[in-house]
């Protein structure tokens, strides 16, 4: 069950990485831009995977009390997905801003 959040998160993050790659396709005229884009995508995917696995280990499952289970094991899958999305966005948003700020005018 540890990797379920990665299986659920992975296709969406790969789709977002593909969108990033496709949007900047026309402005990728030198090898530096290609290296930058590949590095940003790999860093974002690695950060999302690492924080997702870390979040899985950090989430505490609530015990059953007299009135029943409070908010059971679903958080073991929800929190890693949220951490993964957050990590991916934390890398991609500054990368897009930097790409916009440092692009060459036409």
Cα 96-91-100 angle, rounded to 5 deg: 10
pTM score, whole prediction: 0.81
pLDDT of residue 16: 93
How many C-beta neighbours within 10 Å does residue 97 have?
10
Asked if 13 and 88 count as a contact pair (C-beta separation under 8 A), the reply is: yes
The mean per-residue pLDDT over the stretch 69-97 comes to 85
- Is the separation of the CB atoms in 96 and 42 below 8 Å? no
Report the pLDDT value the prediction gives residue 33, as an integer from 0 to 100.
Answer: 84
Q: Please give the share of the chain, as a percent, with pLDDT higher than 90.
A: 38
pLDDT at residue 85 in the model: 93
């Amino acid at each position: 069950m540890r990797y379920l959040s990665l299986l659920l998160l992975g296709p969406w993050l790969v789709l977002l990485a593909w969108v990033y790659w496709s949007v900047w396709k026309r402005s990728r005229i030198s090898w530096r831009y290609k290296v930058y884009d590949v590095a940003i995508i790999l860093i974002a995917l690695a950060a999302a995977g690492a924080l997702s696995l870390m979040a899985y280990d950090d989430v505490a499952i609530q015990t059953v009390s007299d009135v029943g289970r409070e908010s059971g094991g679903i958080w073991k899958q929800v929190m890693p997905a949220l951490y993964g999305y957050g990590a991916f966005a934390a890398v991609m948003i500054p990368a897009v801003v930097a790409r916009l700020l440092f692009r060459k005018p036409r």
